[in-house]
Each structure stands twice: as C-alpha cells, then as structure tokens.
Amino acid sequence: MIDMANIPKGALYGIKVLDLSRVLAGPSCTQVLADLGAEVIKVERPHIGDETRHWAPPTFSDDTSAYYATINRNKKSLTVDITTPTGQTIIKQLIADSDILVENFKVGGLKKYGLDYDSLKQSNPRLIYASLTGFGQTGPDAKRPGYDYIIQGLSGLMSITGPSDGEPHKIGVAVVDLFAGLQLTIGIQAALLARQNTGVGQHVDVALLDSALAMLANVGMNHLASDKIPPRLGNQHPNIVPYQVFAGEGEQHFILACGNDSQFAKLCDVLAVDWHTDERFTTNPQRVANRELLCGELTKQFAKQPRTYWLEVLDQAGIPCGAIHNVAEALAMPQAQARNMIVNFTEQGSPVRALGNPIKLSASPVSYRTPPPQLSEHTDSTLAELGYDKATIAKLKADGIV
C-alpha cells in the first residue's frame, strides 16, 4: 500500500472541494484540484453513480469504466440523493466547511434544492461556487443543455476541422469539455487568491461555448481581421506554409513544420532546390499565397524517400518535424515514460492505469494518492465525520437517501 506519510503536501493541501459535477468537464477540473492536493468529495447518485461509470467497455472493474477512471482519481465517493430534504441537509453540512463547490447542473437546476450560489453564500460567504454549463449563467441560451459535440459544431471548431474537400469533423476527444474544465480550474484558483485579499468567495461561471470560441484563437482572429470566413484546410496551417502532413515513400506520413523563412531555406538545402530564392516562395506570405503550387512540389520530393530518411535528415538540419504516432506508440515514447505520463495504481490494490498529470511543480508536486473510488466507498466515513452514528447511516441507506 502507498505510504501517505511520505507524500509531499500538494499546493492545494487544506482546500476542501465538494464535487457535484459529473461526466467529463467538471470532473476533469476537480481531478486537477485533487492532484494538486485538495480534498475532493465526489457526490454521486445512490446505486447508480456518475453515468460515466457505465460508459463501457472497456472497464477496470464492475463500476469503474476507463472513461470514469480518466477524471476521478484522488477523490472520495459519497452517494447522496440531493432531491430529498435529508440529502440536501447532508450537502449543506458538507458545504459549511468547504472552500469550493463545483457543479455542472443546468442553469437554475440546484435552486429548487436550496443549493444555488445565492442561497449557500449566506451561510458560507467564503465559498467559491464554480459552475460549468453549456452556455453560461446569462444570455438567451443560458438554459439550454450543453454537449461537447454540439458545441464543437456551434462554435465553428468543426468548420475548420477535417479535409478541405470533405465534411466537417469533430476533434478526436471531447476537447471543449477538457478545455472548459481547465478554464474552470484557472477561475477557481484565481478566486482562491482573491479570497485571500477580500475574505469572501465568489461565483465562477464558465461555459462550454465561451471556451470553444476562445479556442478559435488565431483562426478566429483571422476572421476578425479580414471579415473572411476561415476555410477548412485539413492538415494545413492557415497562416504558415509549409506546415502540414506529407507522405514519404510508401505513404508513411509525417509532419513538417517550417515556422519561418530560415527554416524554409534549410529545407531547400536538404532537398537541393533553390525555391527560397524564388519570389513566389521567398517569404511566408508569398508561400501562403502560392500554397498549392509549393506543397504540390514538396509532395513529389518527399515521395522519393521513406519517412525514416526524411525525419533523420530534417532533424539533423534543425527543421521541425515528427512522426504521426498511434496512441500505443505515443505512450511508449521514452520521453512520455521519463515524464511519468502513465500512472499505475497496482500498489494501492487497483487495476487502474491512468494518464498522468502534465503539471510539474518542484516544491509541491502533484501526487497520485488513491485510484478512482468505488461507488459509495467513502459514504460511511464522510457521514461519520459529520457526526452521524452507525444506526443513522444504516437508516439513511435503508431509505435510499445515501
């Protein structure tokens, strides 16, 4: 078993989080907080739990799917029916000494239970109440449910993803959920710092749509600067050429990323051509204007040798390039191993292997203290800390409240 005494206290040690969120976006935020040392109590529905427990196969155990295990380590699982008055009382008791509450219910969905921000801040003015919804707490669409896939479409992300001559594509993972979860984490940490100065908490409001619009980044800015609708370019870059996927001999694909004119000149040296002196290609704006002509010629050149050859000579010349790995190849990279990007919980008696946290802190590092919890694993101990005796806990269970 893991020796808890030898784990350094995380940056958020002493911070208590009540996690009323489910699925991906909210739980991804609370897992980051937990990795950083916060105590996170995940509230789940009795007997059912977070629906992602059952998004399977594959699974690690009967109630721990790979999906659930993605974003629920280092948490405690408490099952409570918050639709009941007794369940609401339990939640309010936990909130009394919590620093943060995270929820992703529909706007106004918790008000009928007395668990909305305006109600709770009266009893705990230091509470940071973090809400993650599809469209935010305000605006004409505030009450609409939000789903990553739909938001990818509404936000314009799908319009710029996929082949130029094909249909729009979603990104391979729920990137809007994950990005919004990070934005919520940043907002919570900012609110914690603000509370040090003011002594009071606040409401953190993050929306999937807002997050996706922010993700448009330079492509969105291209539109604002030109009023033109950005095209779908497949694996090409809208502002840099050549910066895309090419194939070596035998259709072995790799990425070439020439970020400036100097790198393009080096590429021409490798290829033994003088295109960098051609007025059509000398500068990046000229190369963007003549994208199809240049990339067509590059395609012919790269087809002459296998990918391994090009990766070696390009790397030696200092030209950014890289293979396109499958997931197994990516996780097997020595660099990924050296950075501890795979976490194994077998020492804690769990079959779970998980993707690691990318945040590396020198003095208060993230820690992997406990695997994703079994459903209701910490219900008894959490209620006991609130003062409930065994007989009362048994009655709550018999009544289906916990």
Identify the pLDDT of residue 214.
97
| Helix pair 208-215, 175-198: axis angle to 10 deg | 110
Task: Please provide residue 56's backbone torsions phi and psi, each rounded to the nearest 5 degrees.
Answer: -145, 165
Amino acid letter, residue 110: L
Peptide bond into 163 cis (omega under 30): no
Retrieve residue 399's tokens. 């009544």
Rg (CA), the chain: 25
Are 308 and 316 a contacting pair, CB within 8 Å?
Answer: no
Residue 25: C-alpha distances to residues 10, 194, 209, 269, 376 (Å): 22, 24, 12, 47, 21
- DSSP H/E element including 102: strand 100-103
Are 108 and 143 a contacting pair, CB within 8 Å?
Answer: yes
How many CB atoms within 10 Å of residue 285? Answer: 10
**216/233 Cα distance (integer angstroms):** 14
HSE (side-chain half, CA atoms, 13 Å) at 338: 3
- The pLDDT profile of the chain, 402 residues, written as one tens digit per residue, is 455 556 678 999 999 999 999 999 999 999 999 999 999 999 999 999 999 999 999 999 888 999 999 999 999 999 999 999 999 999 999 999 999 999 999 999 999 999 999 999 999 999 999 999 999 999 999 999 999 999 999 999 999 999 989 999 999 999 999 999 999 999 999 999 999 999 999 999 999 999 999 999 999 999 999 999 999 988 889 999 999 999 999 888 999 999 999 999 999 999 999 999 999 999 999 999 999 999 999 999 999 999 999 999 999 999 999 999 999 999 999 999 999 999 999 888 899 999 999 999 999 999 999 999 999 999 999 999 999 999 999 999 999 999
Identify the pLDDT of residue 357.
97
Where in the sequence numbering do the catalytic residues fall?
A: 177
Identify the pLDDT of residue 62.
84
Which residues on adjacent β-strands are paired with residue 39? 16
Please choose, from the candidates 317, 309, 333, the residue with its C-alpha nearest in 3D space to the C-alpha of residue 252.
309
